[in-house]
A and B are shown apart, each in its own frame.
Chain A
Amino acid sequence: MRHGKISIGPKLYIALCFVFFYLPIAVTMFFSFNSSKSLTHFTGFSAQWYEKLIHDQNILAAVYVSISIAIFATIASTVLGTITAIGLSKSRRLLKEALLNINNVPIMNPDIVTAISLMILFTSAGLQRGYVTMLLAHIAFCTPFVITSVYPKVRSMDQNLADVAMDLGATPFQALTKVVVPLLRPGIFAGMLLAFTMSLDDFVVSYFVTGNGVANISILVYNMTKRINPTINALSTLLILAVVIVMVGMYIWPSVREKLRKKTRAGGRTLRRGRRGRKAFAAAGFCCMIAIAVIFASQFSAISGKQTLRVFNSGEYIDMDLVSQFEEEYNCEVVYETYDSNESMYTKLQSGSTYDILVPSDYMIERLISEEYLHQIEWNYIKNKDAIIPKLVEDNLYDPGSRYSVPYYWGNVGILYNKNIVDKKDLEAGWEVLRNTKYKGQVYMYDSERDSFMVALKALGYSMNTKDKGELQEAYEWLINQSETMDPVYVGDDVMDNMISGNKAMAVVYSGDAAYVINENEDMDYYVPEEGTNQWYDAMVITKYCRNTELAHQFINYFLNEDVAIQNTEYIGYDSAVKSVYEYFRDVEYKGNTGCAPASDNPRNEVFHQQEQKVKVYMSNLWTKVKSHQ
């Protein structure tokens, strides 16, 4: 549109909008050079996160998955979408309309519906979930975008041109590649760009359809909530730079090419352009083939001789360096995947993903045992059995006799509070302090229906394993009352970063997380109410699908080695199941940190037990009501 001089006001508006767009990006880039972990306080310049990035196998693998999936999905959906759009314009009206309408469905449908529909499909078809299912899903949601951008171009194209080509001796295939495709180039290019963007940025669909350790950047970041890892800022910065370079390059490329062309024109004719183009095309095709071969090779390296172990663990719940060490020592490959809750792990199992080793919590182990998902532990393989704190094995409530599980970490649930804000006296009220209106707007509750109900039930003096609807109702009312009077925020693992930053005064957390936060922020302290709490245990189990039980046992045993456990505990911050390590951290390394090794002898503490589905759904619904009460 033509317009004369543009005054300062509108220009300022554009500038403001761009500030809004680029503020988060700038923050990310800025803090990628921070010398500390904080994302809110800049403590000094450092390139350490970049160094970490180069060595972080997980992140590099995720980058590889994201980019390779995006490339393959783009190629496949561009080819499929283009030929479909061309074919469609010549199809019978009925077929055309039906297909175009179906094609609109993935575009119109919310991502989440597409995602679960594909998840159900792959589950029902019994497909092993992982790279291939993710790729299929990406092609499925990218192709419609290619079709919608190419189809109008096909319709507006001079239909004679394909005839001309064939008239001049081109076979239909030659007519397609030499005439039709070049004619559609702008549409194809737009579709391709769209497909690539969609694929690269996708979280929802990938999250639901992946498995077996295959994660893209989005999934990795999502599972990283437990502990913000500034490495991801370094990664973002690099990605942003790459995007900017590519986009700017693409933007100026046409004008550069035009200049080049003019130059060659001056020098002579561009006679062999067609030939050269063909060569370039062939070269590109060849590169793709190689890339595909590499992918397959890396995907099936398992077949190439190395033993593999598929480990499914909570996010940030193992030091990956130790996993690499294990791989080296035992000449095997560990396919490592993370989940964000016991429940999501269970859903994955149920939807057909298979793993060798899991690290679930007590009540989930109970459930897995009763549903016969597990393989018995052969204790004679666990050479380090005696290093484990005896009572963890002997007084095992969730797995009597410890027949199916080897303890990993343990702890309880308590209140993490800011010493400078919360009055010690108020804490004597126990869990009721969470309803003390003096601290209104200062409370984080943990988004776990079982733990939140535990708080309420314990405050009311009931058992946290109650099945009594009346008691559950009372607990529900307690929580509703708390929601009304206290304005609590219900958070997930991001509670830790929030508490480290001192955003609120109190939070319901796991003891190990408390230890970690206290370590980072000295103002914090940890308190376990006398009314009792959830005494929890996480343990390693072997599934019945395990293909290599010997290696699985070796893996479990490996993490009971004292030096391994020390390094692992340093990374995780929870209470180790290895006695010497437990004591070392309690008495030396974390001395004085109340989150570390809290007393576990309160008779009112309990272990969660498996719930009947009916009770579980009932409680979930109540919890949904509590959360959406405001």
Chain B
Amino acid sequence: MKHFKGLAYPYVAWSFALIVLPLLLIVLYAVTAGDNSLVTIHFTLDNFRKIGDPVYLNVFAKSLEIGLIVTGVCLLMAYPLAYIISWFSDEVQGILILTVTIPMWINTLLRTYAWISLLSDNGLISQFLTKLGLEAPTMMYTNFAVIIGLVCDLLPFMVIPIHTSLTKMDYSLVEAAKDLGANNFQTFRKIILKLSLPGIINGVTLVFLCSISSFVVPVLLGGRQYMLIGNLIENQFISIGDWNFGSAISVLLAIAILLMMSLMRRIDPEEKGEA
């Protein structure tokens, strides 16, 4: 095996060029002022100071809120789903998990468009409700629409890791717990939930990460007033053309996420075992 040591070297070069270098460039943009060119470098922290503006803090807070809600809803929906799926025979489980994964293969934008026709004011759902004689609430361009869209998009990312950790679980532990006098609920709370914790952490991490920084779904389902961090960054780069400020927000977002991830890893018993 020692012969293969050199195989990692190409990636060292690659990851420097396409991972490290771009990040350094963002940081460089974030701490400089100027008109998007690196010819005249002028260092400043103004870009970061600007983030302190309540408007932007508001955007951050809203992103956090959406991220938390979407993660919570996904967890509440996905855990029972994964748990029930794990009761079936292996073959049926395979089919059910396949059914969960197929939507992931279909372009997110296309799926989001379908939600527009479902949720809009004269859309299918309100038509349906009207037929039932109910008054249809406004759903499109609200928090509700954005959350629905994101949950539908991200739910598989929660179901699959939880299901994996449930099936990897040593079932004799559950039997042992029951043998020791735990009832079904106690067994679930004390054993099953604990043992599936790595899956939960994986899923929560993934979903939170994706939802907090998403920008397509909020634009399409939440309207343009729906400003999340992702939209703010896109705005700075595309519409306003202030790359420096956009970079500063990105840097801050990246740092915040990396901090959160390392925090999550601390909780994860599997990671601990490995270290």
Closest Cβ neighbor of B124 among chain A residues: A40
A172: interface (CB < 8 Å): yes
Complex Cα distance A159/B5, Å?
Answer: 13
> How many residues of chain B get a CB closer than 8 Å to chain A's CBs?
115
Complex Cα distance A198/B87, Å?
Answer: 30
CB distance from B268 to the nearest CB of A (A): 14
Complex Cα distance A628/B257, Å?
Answer: 23
Establish whether residues A503 and B167, one from each chain, have CB atoms under 8 Å apart when the complex forms: no
Complex Cα distance A627/B4, Å?
Answer: 56
A80 — which chain B residues lie within 8 A by C-beta?
10-11, 14
Q: List 15 A-B contacts (CB under 8 A).
A: A22-B103, A24-B115, A39-B117, A84-B7, A84-B8, A96-B8, A103-B19, A110-B254, A116-B233, A116-B250, A218-B109, A343-B238, A501-B121, A625-B55, A630-B225
B219 — which chain A residues lie within 8 A by C-beta?
492
Complex Cα distance A400/B177, Å?
Answer: 85
With known contacts A1-B86, A99-B15, A491-B141, A236–B239 Cβ distance under 8 A: no
Interface segment out of the listed A9-17, A280-288, A403-411: A9-17
Complex Cα distance A111/B5, Å?
Answer: 31
Complex Cα distance A201/B105, Å?
Answer: 7
Establish whether residues B107 and A201, one from each chain, have CB atoms under 8 Å apart when the complex forms: yes
Q: Which of A208-235 contact B (CB under 8 A)?
A: 208, 217-218, 221-222, 225, 228, 232, 235
With known contacts A13-B81, A113-B253, A248-B98, A490–B224 Cβ distance under 8 A: yes
Complex Cα distance A103/B22, Å?
Answer: 14
B36 — which chain A residues lie within 8 A by C-beta?
350
Complex Cα distance A20/B99, Å?
Answer: 12
B162: interface (CB < 8 Å): no
Interface residues of A (CB under 8 A from B): 1-3, 6, 10-11, 13-14, 17-18, 20-25, 27-28, 31, 39-40, 80, 83-84, 86-91, 95-96, 99, 102-103, 105-106, 108-114, 116-121, 124, 136-137, 139-140, 143, 147, 159, 162-163, 166, 172, 175-176, 180, 197, 200-201, 203-204, 208, 217-218, 221-222, 225, 228, 232, 235-236, 239-240, 243-244, 247-248, 251, 341, 343-344, 346-347, 350, 441, 447, 483, 489-492, 494, 497-498, 501-504, 613, 616-617, 620-621, 624-625, 627-630
Establish whether residues B22 and A117, one from each chain, have CB atoms under 8 Å apart when the complex forms: yes
Establish whether residues B11 and A143, one from each chain, have CB atoms under 8 Å apart when the complex forms: yes
A625 — which chain B residues lie within 8 A by C-beta?
55
A28 — which chain B residues lie within 8 A by C-beta?
110-111, 113-114
Starting from the known contacts A116-B250, A117-B23, A247-B98, 11 additional A-B residue pairs (CB-CB under 8 Å) come to: A13-B80, A14-B84, A21-B103, A91-B5, A102-B15, A111-B210, A117-B22, A180-B4, A221-B109, A225-B220, A447-B225
CB distance from B167 to the nearest CB of A (A): 7
With known contacts A110-B209, A120-B26, A201-B104, A1–B167 Cβ distance under 8 A: yes
Complex Cα distance A616/B240, Å?
Answer: 8
Main DSSP-derived SS at the B contact region: helix
A136 — which chain B residues lie within 8 A by C-beta?
18
Establish whether residues B238 and A197, one from each chain, have CB atoms under 8 Å apart when the complex forms: no
Q: Which of A86, A109, A176, A613 is packed against the most chain B CB atoms within 10 Å?
A: A109
B267: interface (CB < 8 Å): no
A105 — which chain B residues lie within 8 A by C-beta?
19, 23, 258
Specify which of B118, B174, B216, B223 is in contact with A490 (CB 8 Å cutoff).
B223
A617 — which chain B residues lie within 8 A by C-beta?
240, 242
Establish whether residues A110 and B253, one from each chain, have CB atoms under 8 Å apart when the complex forms: yes
Complex Cα distance A21/B1, Å?
Answer: 46
With known contacts A116-B233, A201-B108, A24–B7 Cβ distance under 8 A: no
Q: Which of B23, B232, B235 is packed against the most chain A CB atoms within 10 Å?
A: B23
Main DSSP-derived SS at the A contact region: helix
CB distance from A159 to the nearest CB of B (A): 5
B12 — which chain A residues lie within 8 A by C-beta?
95, 99
A31 — which chain B residues lie within 8 A by C-beta?
117
B55 — which chain A residues lie within 8 A by C-beta?
621, 624-625, 628
Contact flags B129-140 to A (C-beta < 8 A → 1, else 0)? 000000000101
B41: interface (CB < 8 Å): no
A251 — which chain B residues lie within 8 A by C-beta?
94-95, 98
Closest Cβ neighbor of A248 among chain B residues: B98
Complex Cα distance A176/B12, Å?
Answer: 20
B113 — which chain A residues lie within 8 A by C-beta?
28, 39, 221, 228, 232
Contact flags B74-100 to A (C-beta < 8 A → 1, else 0)? 000100110011111000001110111
Complex Cα distance A20/B78, Å?
Answer: 12
Establish whether residues A6 and B59, one from each chain, have CB atoms under 8 Å apart when the complex forms: no
CB distance from A174 to the nearest CB of B (A): 11
Establish whether residues A217 and B234, one from each chain, have CB atoms under 8 Å apart when the complex forms: no
Establish whether residues A27 and B257, one from each chain, have CB atoms under 8 Å apart when the complex forms: no
A180 — which chain B residues lie within 8 A by C-beta?
4
Establish whether residues B106 and A243, one from each chain, have CB atoms under 8 Å apart when the complex forms: yes
B212: interface (CB < 8 Å): yes
Q: Which of B11, B156, B235 is packed against the most chain A CB atoms within 10 Å?
A: B11
Closest Cβ neighbor of A104 among chain B residues: B261
Establish whether residues A109 and B254, one from each chain, have CB atoms under 8 Å apart when the complex forms: yes
B56 — which chain A residues lie within 8 A by C-beta?
624
Specify which of B4, B95, B210, B250 is in contact with A176 (CB 8 Å cutoff).
B4
Establish whether residues A343 and B107, one from each chain, have CB atoms under 8 Å apart when the complex forms: no
CB distance from A454 to the nearest CB of B (A): 16
With known contacts A27-B117, A91-B5, A99-B11, A347–B241 Cβ distance under 8 A: yes
With known contacts A24-B114, A112-B234, A620-B239, A200–B105 Cβ distance under 8 A: yes
CB distance from A138 to the nearest CB of B (A): 11
Establish whether residues B215 and A624, one from each chain, have CB atoms under 8 Å apart when the complex forms: no
Establish whether residues A447 and B138, one from each chain, have CB atoms under 8 Å apart when the complex forms: no
Establish whether residues A124 and B258, one from each chain, have CB atoms under 8 Å apart when the complex forms: no
B48: interface (CB < 8 Å): no
B152 — which chain A residues lie within 8 A by C-beta?
20-21, 24
CB distance from B272 to the nearest CB of A (A): 16
CB distance from B77 to the nearest CB of A (A): 7
B156 — which chain A residues lie within 8 A by C-beta?
21
A248 — which chain B residues lie within 8 A by C-beta?
98
Establish whether residues A40 and B120, one from each chain, have CB atoms under 8 Å apart when the complex forms: yes
Establish whether residues B216 and A222, one from each chain, have CB atoms under 8 Å apart when the complex forms: yes
Specify which of B9, B122, B224 is in contact with A491 (CB 8 Å cutoff).
B224
Complex Cα distance A348/B21, Å?
Answer: 21
B263: interface (CB < 8 Å): no
Establish whether residues B215 and A204, one from each chain, have CB atoms under 8 Å apart when the complex forms: yes
CB distance from A7 to the nearest CB of B (A): 10
Complex Cα distance A99/B14, Å?
Answer: 11
Specify which of A96, A346, A447 is in contact with B241 (CB 8 Å cutoff).
A346
B96 — which chain A residues lie within 8 A by C-beta?
14
Specify which of B2, B225, B238 is in contact with A627 (CB 8 Å cutoff).
B225
CB distance from A353 to the nearest CB of B (A): 13
Complex Cα distance A40/B122, Å?
Answer: 7
Establish whether residues B120 and A503, one from each chain, have CB atoms under 8 Å apart when the complex forms: yes
Instruction: Report, nearest first, the 8 A-B pairs whose CB atoms are least far apart.
Output: A87-B7, A110-B213, A87-B8, A24-B114, A447-B224, A117-B22, A3-B87, A503-B121
